A and B are shown apart, each in its own frame.
Chain A
């Protein structure tokens, strides 16, 4: 097995709160690695409502959700956070005094003194499409993500959806698949115009099939799909023979592996914490942002930022048990400003 990545803190979830945690930890000299199942940072802000406005970030009368994420990324740059995107944290294990092992579904392992769970509403996972009887085929011949393109060489592939994922995979798999059909419920596509144009070109060249309608049932055996029954927009019903189906119906937040980390969850979905440091029942593991619960909890970005600051104060004592923490302001502390890369030039 590869050596685990050693660091002060592993942050699970790179939503706005996980990102800001890097800042608060960094000011106190703690290095952090961030892991997120999404292929980008920003959590709900980036995935659910990037273009929408936010009006309640203190001191910022108006910003877009993506604007906030971009600003946070800029703000934490001096601390050189290490991002591990497209990876889901599966296990968190205490392996010693103030020592934790964190493992991802990609087999990556971390060893850290502190773990910060900033998992928000849970990990983003693909939505199951509304086709009855799809479950037995899942991960056998129905896939919600493509890991190895080569697995589809020569196969008859049916892609369902009209967003960027559906169109990107249509473009990528068209040269590989034996036959490819793109099925979407209407003739407008949400995907970027460039992808739509490229897809239409493939269709016009006869390289792919394009069908407007919805899959209503599936047939196959032993997990192997054979065909999908499709009802088109104009009401006609026909079958599409296929060896694999790739449905792209967007993402939904599911609690996911967090449920198995040994916490007694509030309402089966939130990790209870104390309000002095937002620490969980396992000392050294903190939970901040939307994922935690305490009396009076508000699921606001503002609250999560506050939680990150208090968490860092306590985390310091696990990372530097022998040191005393001196409280400082970024406005006036030259040592903090040096860390931020904004220290004023020394007066000779």
Chain B
């Protein structure tokens, strides 16, 4: 299990366990973490799974693919550390990952 911590705009901290091979979005949905809508179910087609990657983790998580960048154009309140959580695969290396959810998704 890989520990992933979601922090919402109010500062509420929600640590949950993700499965290797699933995505950060799926982990959030499975555990009912609010603030992630994932309207398109992870197809990189809606940008409603937008999260901010904690600065300490940005390098490990890596950059968005060109397809993801295209979808990020539509995300609300974009920052340099913005990613679509459905495009981040859970790996052992991400144990301890911290992501923040935005004020709103669309």
Hey, which bits of chain A sit against chain B, CB under 8 A?
48-49, 52, 127, 130, 161-163, 184-186, 188, 190, 214, 249-250, 252-253
Instruction: A48-B45, A127-B106, A250-B73 are known; give 7 further A-B pairs, CB within 8 A.
Output: A52-B43, A130-B75, A130-B76, A130-B78, A185-B73, A188-B69, A250-B47
Measured CB to CB, the closest approach of chain B to A179, in angstroms, equals: 24
CB pair B40–A48 under 8 Å, yes or no, is yes
Question: B57 interface residue, CB < 8 Å from A?
Answer: no
Contacts A127-B74, A127-B106, A130-B78 given; indicate if A49 touches B69 (C-beta within 8 A).
no
CB within 8 Å of A: which B44-66 residues: 45-47, 66
Hey, which bits of chain B sit against chain A, CB under 8 A?
39-40, 43, 45-47, 66, 69-70, 73-78, 106
Q: How far is the CA of A344 from the CA of B69 in the complex (A)?
A: 53
Q: How far is the CA of A128 from the CA of B70 in the complex (A)?
A: 17
B46, closest chain A residue (CB): A48
CB contacts (< 8 Å) of B47 on chain A: these are 250
Name the contact of B78 in the complex, choosing from A49, A185, A250 (C-beta under 8 A): A185
Q: Mostly helix, strand, loop or mixed at chain A's interface?
A: loop
Q: Mostly helix, strand, loop or mixed at chain B's interface?
A: loop
CB pair B73–A252 under 8 Å, yes or no, is no
CB contacts (< 8 Å) of B74 on chain A: these are 127, 249-250
CB pair A249–B77 under 8 Å, yes or no, is no
CB contacts (< 8 Å) of B46 on chain A: these are 48
Name the contact of B70 in the complex, choosing from A190, A249, A252 (C-beta under 8 A): A190
CB contacts (< 8 Å) of A184 on chain B: these are 73
CB contacts (< 8 Å) of A252 on chain B: these are 106
B74, closest chain A residue (CB): A250
- Shortest 4 CB-CB contacts between residues of A and residues of B: A250-B74, A130-B76, A190-B70, A49-B45
B79, closest chain A residue (CB): A214
A47, closest chain B residue (CB): B45
B77, closest chain A residue (CB): A130
CB contacts (< 8 Å) of B39 on chain A: these are 253
Q: How far is the CA of A174 from the CA of B78 in the complex (A)?
A: 28
Measured CB to CB, the closest approach of chain A to B81, in angstroms, equals: 14
CB pair B73–A163 under 8 Å, yes or no, is yes
CB pair A249–B43 under 8 Å, yes or no, is no
